[in-house]
Copies of this chain bind each other. A is one copy, B any other.
Amino acid sequence: MCQEAKNIKQSILNPVKEALPLNKIEIFPLTGLPVIKEGDDLALLICQAAEKQETSIQNGDVIVVTHVVVSRAEGNVVNLETVTPSEFAKTIAKTTRKDPRLVEVILRESKSIVRMSNGKLITETKQGLICANSGIDQSNVPGNTVVALLPEDADQSARTIRKNVLKSSGKDVAVIVSDTHGRPLRHGEINIALGTSGFEPLRDRRGEKDLFGYTIRIKRTAIADELASAAELVIGQTNEAIPVAIIRGYPYPKSETANATKMMRPPEEDLFI
């Protein structure tokens, strides 16, 4: 266990009245990245940009990368000019007032339509994520007619970035591929983890005892989503200048095998809907 984790454990176990050593978290925006294009080694560019701004990657950092730059580096974009919409896409385009070619791409990326109304199209993507427009992004992509799809396998994308960060910098980090996400029952969007590597995205607190000896029974914290949301606070979402954040000082539970896919709860298991 690293020293920071020990300190935090200490502070949890001892509810003292004295000030304890502070285990603060820092979140750095990563400035100075070039415009990302297909084939770029994102990990290398991230390491170089971090060094240039004097926040060189350290062991234990969490690197949060917005999915649009991952999709662009992976060439996972579509030029709508190359798309011929189906008859069904044209029909839906009329009721949702969208570009029929965009609707065609949304349909190609989805395995079902969950809901449709008021110009909104909620789908279940091929990856199993339920979200608006199959997660397709029109912003932060060069060219008026180019859209970015979700990464084919965001966990794999995260694993690749993590492996290449190790290669470029020698540092062992956690990686999150993040996405902006609308939610049932709440206005406004938050950021969630589409893909993760190097840590356990759900922290299981069941069985822990609280200050008063009560045993926690149902708490599993979605720390990957919380980290993605924390990163958004420094990520300039409307501009590619800051598509990456570095979170330093968070003692994440390490894992070589865990991934973010298991954070998706299928509708049939869901109590809310």
Q: Of residues 1 to 47 in A, which have CB atoms within 8 Å of B's CB atoms?
A: 8, 11-20, 22-29, 31-32, 34-35
Copies of the protein in its oligomer: 2
Instruction: List 11 additional A-B contacts (Cβ < 8 Å) besides A122-B271, A183-B183.
Output: A11-B242, A22-B31, A22-B53, A27-B230, A114-B272, A115-B272, A186-B225, A187-B222, A188-B221, A188-B263, A211-B239
Cβ of A262: which chain B residues have Cβ within 8 Å of it? 187
Tell which of B12, B142, B187, B270 touches A212, judged by Cβ atoms closer than 8 Å.
B142
Question: With A and B bound together, what is the CA distance between A43 and B130 in angstroms?
Answer: 41
Cβ of A254: which chain B residues have Cβ within 8 Å of it? none
B222 and A233: CB pair below 8 A? Answer: no
A271 and B115: CB pair below 8 A? Answer: yes
Give A contacts to B, CB under 8 Å.
8, 11-20, 22-29, 31-32, 34-35, 49, 52-55, 114-115, 117-118, 120, 122, 130, 132, 138-144, 180, 183-192, 201-203, 205, 208-212, 214, 216, 218-223, 225-227, 229-230, 232-234, 236-242, 250, 262-265, 267, 270-273
Question: With A and B bound together, what is the CA distance between A188 and B227 in angstroms?
Answer: 13
B221 and A226: CB pair below 8 A? Answer: no
Question: With A and B bound together, what is the CA distance between A227 and B19 in angstroms?
Answer: 24
